């Protein structure tokens, strides 16, 4: 069964899929997509960009709350229903996950060699 998504969400999901398949930076994926889809208006571009960068920024926390398997759709749904600031002090979530920071980098910052 094919799901039909609203305009903005459809474009955002396509951008997320492209980014997950690429090895390039997020801004390059987003810029390329907008150049290939010039019909997307300014207000839609703004919402898509802000949502995309927010999701990328909080990916660790999003993955913690996302349904399995981790797909673009599940991640986006989790992000749209998530307020990261509500979980910054939650002791049941590992600190590096609460901050969406790679564990090995977090460990170096908390207890340097």
DSSP state of 23: S
For the segment 57-80, the average pLDDT, to the nearest whole number, is 96
Q: Using omega within 30 degrees of 0 as the cis cutoff, is the peptide bond preceding 69 cis?
A: yes
pLDDT at 113 over 90: no
Which run of H or E residues covers position 107?
A: helix 103-110
pLDDT at 3: 78
Q: How confident is the model at residue 79 (pLDDT cuts 50, 70, 90)?
A: very high
pLDDT at 21 over 80: yes
The rounded distance, in Å, linking the Cα atoms of 72 and 76 is 6
For the segment 1-20, the average pLDDT, to the nearest whole number, is 91
Count the Cβ atoms, other than its own, within 10 Å of residue 13.
17
Burial 43-53, CB ≥16 within 10 A → b, else e: ebbebbbebbe
Which run of H or E residues covers position 104?
A: helix 103-110
């Amino acid at each position: 069964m094919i799901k039909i998504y609203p305009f903005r969400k459809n474009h955002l999901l396509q951008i997320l899929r492209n980014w997950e398949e690429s090895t390039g930076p997020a801004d390059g994926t987003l810029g390329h997509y907008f150049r290939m889809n010039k019909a997307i208006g300014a207000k839609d571009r703004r919402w898509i960009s802000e949502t995309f960068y927010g999701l990328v920024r909080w990916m660790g926390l999003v993955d913690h709350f996302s349904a399995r398997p981790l797909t673009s759709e599940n991640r986006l749904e989790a992000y749209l229903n998530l307020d990261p600031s509500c979980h910054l002090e939650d002791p049941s979530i590992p600190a590096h996950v609460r901050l969406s920071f790679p564990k090995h980098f977090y460990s170096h910052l908390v207890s340097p060699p």
